[in-house]
Amino acid sequence: LLKDYRTAGKTREDFDRDLAHHIQDTHAPDLVVLAGWMHILSPAFIDCFAGRIINLHPALPGELDGAHAIDRAYEEFKAGKRSRTGIMVHHVIPEVDKGAPIMTQEIPCVAGDSLEDLEARIHAAEHQILPKAVRAVLDAME
């Protein structure tokens, strides 16, 4: 979809603004949950849902911001620079993965781990933490 916008001479901000309006007009969500969403949202989207967007990120606050966090954690582990990684659910702000954490969990890197082993452990923990974080945020909104 973003490619179609660019082809039509529109910007990423145009796309984000239209996406936000579509979501608001068709669903009017109390909360927008980003899980596996790899498009960095511009303020054009974020401002439409200020304080009501959360993101699941496979790293702890201040560590491995941005894309490919699991791969980077694994490479650091193999290089002897890391013995654990983690996950967080955080509020979304324009700075990527810098919003206030809602919940975090450390994930150990285990000797003999393959990248797939670490990914599986991280994803299993994500499936546990995300519903808890969503509930905590929704409860705080009431």
Catalytic residues: 57
Residue 53 to residues 4, 90, 109, 111: CA-CA distances in angstroms? Answer: 25, 9, 29, 36
* Helices and strands of the chain, counted as H and E runs: 5, 4
Q: Which long-range contacts (CB under 8 A, 24 or more apart) does 34-38 make?
A: 34/92, 35/126, 35/130, 38/67
Please tell me the distance from the alpha carbon of residue 2 to that of residue 14, in angstroms, as a whole number. Answer: 9
